[in-house]
């Protein structure tokens, strides 16, 4: 599989590192915002082409698939362009920053015979896979999930501490991870969702704090707290309160409610969620199969995000 990676920032590099560990994969093209960065990254990973234009990859016979690690606002349009160019696509989370755009991508994807996958990494982290396997086996049932997504981003910086050219979004990006994971682990749709947002940052133009409540069809609960104001441990921490035990997932690691380590090394062939995600993308392309985290399987997450965005818009209208 000949793959182009668009976006050579923090997550683009994670994907490039992961792809280097997968047999049968060749990164042929690197796309970045600046040519210097594209050339440097392409040289490091052995890609033949470096460019600032996605169209160069979409028009190339040397590219079978693209992985989009570009700014959120570009995801929907670029995914549609890639599909129409006949390329398989993995687009980093989120699929879009509006329900209308997400639905349009889903429509275009459904009309193609191409793999179109969204980077909902939490489905692939060994910690969450360990919990999921026990739920599917009937050995575990979630009563409640309590999730904290905390960063310190009072200025527009990326995960590498570098200036970012676009503004991140707590709802459409960071909440998407938990909204999808909660429904995925419960095995049923979310039927009730509420949101409250804190003040809008005067320069970034987004709420910096958010509180979300979710309920599944059978009554399982999820409470999600998000902040860009947190000065402390950064990242997302998932507490699973279950009928048989409590577990806390920190990316690829898992502990019990009493902070006892849980061995998840045997869950998958890697301890890197991004690598497992990319392996699933490659597998689906080779086998002409629907991948875990296909657009069809994650689109309901964006329905819920759309409902939450509507609540926020209505609250703003009342305030004004």
**Of residues 143, 228, 235, the one with CA closest to residue 182:** 143
* Rounded (5°) CA angle 303-211-315: 70
Domains of the chain (ranges plus CATH)? 2-120 (3.40.50.720), 122-273+303-319 (3.30.360.10)
Order of strands, sheet of 2-6, starting from the edge strand that comes earlier in the sequence: 49-51, 26-31, 2-6, 65-68, 88-92, 116-119
Q: Which two tokens stand for residue 78?
A: 């670029």
Q: Residues of 65-84 as b/e, b for ≥16 C-beta within 10 angstroms?
A: bbbbbbbbbbbbebbbbbbe
Residue bearing tokens 């995000």: 305
Q: Does the structure show a pLDDT above 90 at 164?
A: no
For residue 224, the tally of other CB atoms under 10 A from its CB is: 24
For residue 100, the tally of other CB atoms under 10 A from its CB is: 10
DSSP per residue over 93-160, as a string?
Answer: SPS-SSHHHHHHHHHHHHTSSS-EEEE-GGGTSHHHHHHHHHHHTTS--EEEEEEEEE-B-SSSB-TT
At 68, is the pLDDT very low, low, confident or very high (cuts 50, 70, 90)? very high
| Rounded-to-5 percentages of helix, strand, coil across the chain | 40, 25, 35
CA distances from 32 to 169, 245, 292 (A): 21, 45, 27
Backbone angles phi, psi at 136, to 5 degrees: -60, -35
- 169-185 average pLDDT score: 96
Q: Which two tokens stand for residue 232?
A: 């402390």
Q: What is the pLDDT of residue 166?
A: 72
**Predicted TM-score (pTM) of this structure:** 0.95
At 242, is the pLDDT very low, low, confident or very high (cuts 50, 70, 90)? very high
Q: What is the pLDDT of residues 138-161, one digit of tens each?
A: 999 999 999 999 998 777 666 666
Residues whose CB falls within 8 Å of the CB of residue 49, separated by 6 or more in sequence, listed in order: 4, 28, 29, 30, 42, 56, 57, 60, 62
Contact 197, 228 (CB under 8 A): no
Residues of the chain with pLDDT > 90: what percent? 87
Contact 27, 16 (CB under 8 A): yes
Query: What distance lies between CA 100 and its chain's CA centroid?
Result: 18
Beta bridge partners of 192: 215
DSSP state of 74: G
Q: Which two tokens stand for residue 117?
A: 């996958």
What does the mean pLDDT of the chain come to?
A: 95
Q: What is the pLDDT of residues 257-276, one digit of tens each?
A: 999 999 999 999 999 999 99
Q: Does the structure show a pLDDT above 80 at 55?
A: yes
Q: Does the structure show a pLDDT above 70 at 74?
A: yes
Q: What is the pLDDT of residue 93?
A: 97
Q: What is the pLDDT of residues 85-133, one digit of tens each?
A: 999 999 999 999 999 999 999 999 999 999 999 999 999 999 999 999 9
């Amino acid at each position: 599989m000949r793959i182009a990676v668009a976006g050579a920032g923090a997550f683009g590099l994670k994907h490039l590192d992961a792809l280097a560990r997968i047999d049968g994969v060749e990164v042929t093209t690197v796309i970045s915002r600046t040519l210097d960065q594209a050339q440097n990254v392409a040289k490091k990973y052995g890609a033949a082409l470096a460019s600032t234009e996605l169209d160069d990859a979409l028009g190339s016979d040397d590219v079978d698939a693209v992985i989009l690690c570009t700014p959120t606002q570009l995801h929907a349009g670029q995914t549609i362009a890639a599909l129409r160019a006949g390329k398989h696509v993995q687009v980093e989370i989120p699929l879009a920053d509006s329900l209308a755009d997400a639905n349009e991508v889903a429509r275009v994807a459904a009309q193609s015979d191409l793999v179109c996958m969204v980077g909902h990494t939490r489905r692939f982290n060994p910690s969450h896979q360990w919990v999921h396997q026990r739920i599917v086996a009937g050995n575990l049932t979630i009563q409640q999930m309590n999730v904290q997504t905390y960063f310190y981003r009072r200025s527009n910086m990326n995960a590498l501490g570098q200036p970012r050219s676009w503004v991140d979004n707590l709802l459409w990006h960071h909440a998407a991870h938990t909204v999808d994971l909660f429904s995925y682990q419960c095995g049923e749709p979310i039927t009730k969702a509420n949101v409250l947002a804190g003040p809008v940052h005067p320069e970034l133009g987004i709420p910096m704090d958010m509180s979300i409540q979710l309920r599944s069809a059978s009554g399982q609960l999820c409470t999600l707290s998000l902040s860009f104001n947190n000065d402390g441990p950064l990242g997302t921490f998932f507490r699973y309160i279950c009928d048989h035990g409590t577990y806390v997932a920190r990316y690829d690691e898992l502990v019990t409610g009493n902070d006892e380590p849980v061995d998840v090394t045997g869950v998958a062939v890697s301890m890197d969620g991004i690598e497992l995600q990319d392996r699933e993308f490659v597998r689906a392309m080779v086998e002409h199969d629907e991948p875990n985290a296909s657009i069809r399987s994650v689109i309901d997450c964006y329905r819920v995000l759309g409902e939450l965005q509507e609540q926020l818009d209505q609250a703003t209208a009342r305030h004004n």
